[in-house]
Amino acid sequence: MTTSAERFTGSFTQQEPIPEAGIEAAMAVLRHGRLHRYNTQGDEIAEAAALEEEFAAFTGARYCLGVASGGYAMGCALRALQLQPGEPVLTNAFTLAPVPGAIAACGGRPVFVEITEDLVLDFDDLTRKAQDSGARILLLSHMRGHSCDMEALVALCDRLGLKIIEDCAHTMGAEWNGIASGRHGVIACYSTQTYKHMNSGEGGLLITDDPDLAARMVLLSGSYMLYTRHRAAPGPEAYQDIRLDVPNVSGRMDNLRAAILRPQVALLAERRARWTTLYHAMEAGLAETPGLRLIPRPLVERHVGSSFQFALPDWEEARIAMLLSRAVARGVELKWFGVKDPVAFTSRYPHWRYAGGQSCPNTDRILAGLIDMRLPLTFSPADVALIARIIREEVLITAQAEISGDVAAPEID
């Protein structure tokens, strides 16, 4: 077997630097030392409160709350809906560990729903499992930025009596049919972890239009009796009947992270456009590669292409392992959702034993051949074209190796 000399030398984990305005704002917070969101002087507006106002305006939501992480955001949303011990919560079988982790941490029981070939929720399986489990909550994961038909989902969930919490960790800035991702459910949760669309290392945001849920979330996040210092939250009357009943599960966002994030809100549309360019370049580079299936994107979906997935239908494990090994030798880091044991950030529902033994055979079949990679904005279109050429070459070489019987299974780490 032969291969070209081309090799990618960039990093799949290197993000862009924080905008200068964010650095300057962070330095101002460090200099005055008032990092806690409720530690203000005079008529000063806390950075966290200002971020919440600005993100609410960006999404069109009435209320917004900044918290410590995307995982905390999901837990806060579930608690605001008063999840009970042992209560079932429906969620995608294709997601990442923090989603079922949030359900379990709140005392709930994850119930995994099958996905389709296009990596979105299977509505038929959702209907069956909603009826069988008696669940009243769907924690919908827009996993890797793939959104299902949201109008159809909302109509179905209304019939099934399901409240939708949207996990928008991978869809911040995305839209479905002109509606911002996160605006279809009763609550939406976002992440500002380093690999997401705004970067503060860790962090999370919640939005809702419901004043009762917003008030519960503010109290849950650890407002003490300082809830009137929130500017993208309901008025004092929303707290009066619940302020002594809702537990403080402290997970506030601090002013340092909020200061870093505020300038990034205005950059989301421009970042989406740049990610779209990279995503389309990868699609073009891999189009019509024998044995490789691209994931179609609906015309009404305006996604944020910060990662890229493709399928290798019916490939044997040894063949996929060989492809990944050969690709990484040429500088291309591919993740595989069919890998036997969890690796780094990549795991799937059978690995989460705390959720109990569940079977989603269609999802198993799909994930067995699903490959994933990041597309950081530090990549150029030329970088993406090179990566696509390498993947395409290695797919073809691996296919030839299988024909000749020269496929061995290297270790995946």
**Domains in the chain, please, with CATH?**
20-265 (3.40.640.10), 268-404 (3.90.1150.10)
pLDDT tens per residue across all 413 residues of the chain: 445 689 999 999 999 999 999 999 999 999 999 999 999 999 999 999 999 999 999 999 999 999 999 999 999 999 999 999 999 999 999 999 999 999 999 999 999 999 999 999 999 999 999 999 999 999 999 999 999 999 999 999 999 999 999 999 999 999 999 999 999 999 999 999 999 999 999 999 999 999 999 999 999 999 999 999 999 999 999 999 999 999 999 999 999 999 999 999 999 999 999 999 999 999 999 999 999 999 999 999 999 999 999 999 999 999 999 999 999 999 999 999 999 899 999 999 999 999 999 999 999 999 999 999 999 999 999 999 999 999 999 999 998 876 566 655 444 44
User: What's the burial of 51, exposed, middle or buried (CB within 10 Å: 0-12/13-18/19+)?
Assistant: buried
Q: Are 288 and 81 in contact (CB under 8 A)?
A: no
pTM of the model: 0.95
Joined tokens for residue 298: 């609906």
Question: In whole angstroms, what is the distance from residue 360 CA to residue 113 CA?
Answer: 7
Sequence-distant (6+) residues with CB within 8 A of 62 are 56, 208, 209, 211, 214, 232
The strand pair at 88-92 and 63-67 is best described as unpaired
Map 46-81 to HEC letters: CHHHHHHHHHHHHHCCCEEEEECCHHHHHHHHHHHC
Is residue 371 helix, strand or coil?
Answer: strand
Question: In whole angstroms, what is the distance from residue 329 CA to residue 40 CA?
Answer: 52
Q: Are 106 and 247 in contact (CB under 8 A)?
A: no
Helix (H) or strand (E) holding 336: strand 335-336
CA-based radius of gyration for the chain: 22
Which pLDDT tens digit goes with each residue over 274-307?
Answer: 999 999 999 999 999 999 999 999 999 999 999 9
